[in-house]
């Protein structure tokens, strides 16, 4: 699962995007939307990881490789100590969600498709999810990514 966030400081809104692919890298599902009252890019990235994990767990995924472009979030999630930062509760929520997944790994990796979805999410008033077909807004990016990973 690739996740990314985008933050608009003027209106304190964060957009999020998540893409889940199978182990063969074939598209499975996509999710995007927005959060209000977000006060920093770090808070945005943490909320995005939590939203992606909630979404994946709700759909019954038991094995996840979670990739985010936020090294700070990856480090906070890998630290066994209680996180005492301003995003403490979000990080602890993520750790609890990761513990419910049979096999979970988190890593630092940027993803153009998740980033594009996050930018799109900034303008949405509700969440969108695609299960059986690719959303037209990311078809070209997914095709490009599949060719570059071969």
Least confident range from 27-41, 83-97, 102-116, 132-146: namely 132-146
Residues 44-91: tens digit of each pLDDT: 999 999 999 999 999 999 899 999 999 999 999 999 887 778 899 999
pLDDT of residue 73: 95
**What is the fold of 2-132?**
Nucleotidyltransferase; domain 5 (3.30.420)
Domain residue spans in the chain?
A: 2-132
Q: Provide the pLDDT for residue 126.
A: 84
Entry pTM? 0.86
Conformation bin of residue 12: beta by default, left when phi > 0, alpha when psi is -120 to 50: left
Using an 8 Å Cβ cutoff, are 18 and 6 in contact? no
For CA atoms 34, 42, 136, 64, the dihedral sign is negative
Burial 5-31 (b: 16+ CB within 10 A, else e): bbbeeeeebbbbbbbbbeeeeebbbbb
Cβ–Cβ < 8 Å for 66, 111? no
């Amino acid at each position: 699962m690739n996740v990314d966030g985008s933050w608009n400081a003027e209106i304190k809104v964060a957009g999020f995007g998540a893409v889940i692919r199978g182990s063969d890298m074939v598209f499975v599902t996509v999710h995007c939307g927005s959060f209000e009252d977000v006060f920093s890019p770090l808070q945005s990235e943490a909320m995005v990881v939590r939203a992606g994990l909630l979404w994946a767990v709700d759909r019954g995924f038991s094995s996840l490789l979670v990739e985010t472009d936020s090294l700070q979030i990856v480090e906070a999630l890998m630290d066994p100590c209680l996180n005492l930062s301003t995003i403490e509760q979000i990080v602890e929520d993520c750790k609890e969600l990761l513990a419910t997944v049979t096999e979970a790994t988190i890593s630092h990796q940027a993803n153009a498709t998740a980033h594009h979805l996050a930018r799109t999410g900034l303008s949405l008033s509700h969440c969108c999810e695609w299960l059986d077909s690719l959303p037209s807004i990311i078809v070209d990016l997914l095709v490009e990514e599949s060719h570059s990973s071969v």
